[in-house]
């Protein structure tokens, strides 16, 4: 049986999706260039859909658009 596609990921996985180190990803979250995580029963997770929206240019802050 194939593994389900994740709908939320931990910080290290979110950073990996963008080819970043976790500290680099965290810095982008802190300055608002990446979405904030959601709290799922005490665990911080990033919605994959939110991360994909940034990559597609649908959720990027105008301040960070090149």
Residue range(s) defining the domain that contains residue 60: 8-64
Q: Which pLDDT tens digit goes with each residue over 1-25?
A: 888 999 999 999 999 999 999 999 9
In a domain, 23, yes or no: yes
User: Does some domain include residue 58?
Assistant: yes
Q: What is the pLDDT of residue 62?
A: 54
Quick check: helix, strand or coil at residue 11?
A: helix
User: Could you tell me if residue 53 is inside a domain?
Assistant: yes
19-63 pLDDT, tens digit per residue, is 999 999 999 999 999 999 999 999 999 999 999 999 888 875 555
- For the full predicted model, state whether its pTM sits above 0.85: no
Number of separate domains in the chain: 1
The answer to whether position 1 is within a domain reads: no
Asked whether the predicted pLDDT for residue 65 surpasses 90, the reply is: no
Kindly provide the b/e burial profile for residues 53-62, where b requires at least 16 CB atoms within 10 angstroms of the residue's own CB: ebeeeeeeee
Task: Output phi, psi for 11, to 5 deg.
Answer: -55, -45
Choice between 65 and 27, residue whose per-residue pLDDT is larger: 27
Residue 3 lies in a domain: no
């Amino acid at each position: 049986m194939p593994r389900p596609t994740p709908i939320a990921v931990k910080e290290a996985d979110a950073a990996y999706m963008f080819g970043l180190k976790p500290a680099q990803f965290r810095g982008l979250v802190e300055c608002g260039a990446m979405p904030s995580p959601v709290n799922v029963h005490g665990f911080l997770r990033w919605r994959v859909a939110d991360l994909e929206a940034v990559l597609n240019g649908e959720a990027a802050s105008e301040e960070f658009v090149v």
